[in-house]
Structure 1
Amino acid sequence: MIWEVFRQEKPGEYHTHCGNVHAPDREMALMFAQIQHARRKPTHSLWVAPSEEISEVDESEAAFGGTTNKAYRWATSYNIEPVAEEVADSESEQAEAERARGEN
């Protein structure tokens, strides 16, 4: 049986997937996970879960955040004359972020 292993480096951080182990039961999976994934790196805790219990929902199956137009949050949405220095800085940051995302 394959068990997926998630590791937390420091208290309060997220657990991240670090690999898997092959083991007949949970107890052996925990032991193998400690040996293979926590021995050399600083580790606060491990999660071990059966591989068949892990499911995925990707963007083609569900609408995640970001689908709503939230242009009102940016200073570029408003026509204010003359443009304040902070607004100009915000506009250039927004344009740069859009270029990085490939929107323009």
Structure 2
Amino acid sequence: MIWEVFRQEEAGDRHTHCGNVHAPDKEMATLFAQVQHGRRMQTNSLWVAPKEEIGEVDAEDTEFGGTTDKSYRWAITYNNIDASFAEEVAESEADQEEHAEKRGGT
């Protein structure tokens, strides 16, 4: 049976795939993973999982994040602000200044 091995270098890091081992059961797979993959570099933790139990979902199978428009997350989106929005911002700033003067601020 083939077991996939994932290694974590330091606590808090993510586990990354580092190879596989051939073993009849989980205990032997863990031991082989320690010997083959845990001693080569600094290792905080190892995961072993049966190869048959590891599934994959890639871009062809699904759209990650759905179809929601999340362009607002990118600053480049704000380079083409329409005129009505710019007017709204100017009015809002003027209102804020007016209220600040009434309160005795700057």
TM-score by length of 1: 0.69
Mark the runs of 5 or more structure 2 residues left unpaired by the alignment: 87-106
Q: Displacement, 1:66? A: 7.4
Match runs of 1:68-83 below 5 Å: 68-73=68-73, 74=75, 75-79=78-82
- Worse overlay, 59-68 or 47-56: 59-68
Q: Displacement, 1:65? A: 2.5
Deviations 1:5-34 (A, max 9, x none): 000000011000000000011111000000
2:3 aligns to what? 3
Q: Quick one: distance in 2 between partners of 1:67 and 1:59?
A: 13
Match runs of 1:60-75 below 5 Å: 60-65=60-65, 67-73=67-73, 74=75, 75=78
Q: Displacement, 1:72? A: 3.1
Q: Displacement, 1:61? A: 1.0
Aligned length: 81
Mark the runs of 5 or more structure 1 residues left unpaired by the alignment: 82-104
Q: Quick one: distance in 1 between partners of 2:5 and 2:71?
A: 40
1:42 aligns to what? 42
Q: Displacement, 1:67? A: 4.4
Q: Which amino acid aligns with 2:23?
A: A
1:24 aligns to what? 24
SS at 1:29's partner residue?
A: helix
TM-score by length of 2: 0.68
Q: Which amino acid aligns with 1:43?
A: T
Q: Identity percentage over the alignment?
A: 64
Q: Quick one: distance in 1 between partners of 2:80 and 2:54?
A: 42
Q: Quick one: distance in 2 between partners of 1:60 and 1:32?
A: 35
